[in-house]
Structure formats: C-alpha cells, structure tokens
Amino acid sequence: DVKVTQSSRYLVKRTGEKVFLECVQDMDHENMFWYRQDPGLGLRLIYFSYDVKMKEKGDIPEGYSVSREKKERFSLILESASTNQTSMYLCASSFLTGMDNEQFFGPGTRLTVL
C-alpha cells in the first residue's frame, strides 16, 4: 500500500513560533505537494517539489517555505506562525509523469496557532 505519512495529526503552536510540518512517502514519487484546506475555500496549493532540492511556488506561498533534501521527505516551514495560518495541512505525492499519475494524500495535520 502507498503510504504518505505526516508527522502530527494535531499541533498547537503560539504566534511567532517556527513550525515544521514533515511529510514522508514510500512510493519513490518525484512530486510532492503541500496544500492547506479551509472551510469554504477548498484545497489550495502552497508549494510543490518535482525533485530533490527543487521547489515551485503554488497559489499561496506567502508565509511558508519548504525543504526537500531527500526524495521521500518534504517539509513545510512556517518561519513565524500567525493565527491566520491555523488550518488543515495536507501533504501529497505522485509520479512526475504518466497516465496513472494520481496524487496520494497523507491524513493531514490540523494546526492551531494561538
């Protein structure tokens, strides 16, 4: 079974803290993605990476950075957490190209910033 795991299901942080969200996949996928999901707004892409050390901004990258030092691991970093970053964060992975290039999602991390 394909597995995408995220480091925490629930996280509570304080405003101004540096926050790391970790994602690991075991399918040797080239692509990895970070989304946030908010009520009424759906899933919005923050960043994605198509190779080690490569990254591209998604639709809402402000306030976030990412790191991909190994193929299987993609980290989302909130340099200085703010209350408007309270959200559900979802990681996904997929093959780079190909016909059956579905995205596989992790269970999500619900982050609350106080």
Partner 1 sequence: DAKTTQPPSMDCAEGRAANLPCNHSTISGNEYVYWYRQIHSQGPQYIIHGLKNNETNEMASLIITEDRKSSTLILPHATLRDTAVYYCIVRAHNAGNNRKLIWGLGTSLAVNP
The reply to whether 96 sits near partner 1 by the rule CB under 8 A is yes
Choose, by CB under 8 A, the member of 14, 70, 82, 107 that binds partner 1. 107
* Cβ-proximal residues to 78 (8 Å cutoff; 6+ apart), any chain: 13, 17, 18, 19, 21, 63, 64, 85
Exactly one of 13, 44, 71, 73 binds partner 1 (CB under 8 A); which one? 44
Neighbouring C-beta atoms of residue 56, cutoff 10 Å: 11
The residues binding partner 1 (CB under 8 A) are 4, 31, 33, 35, 40, 42-45, 48, 50, 56, 58, 90-92, 94-99, 101-108
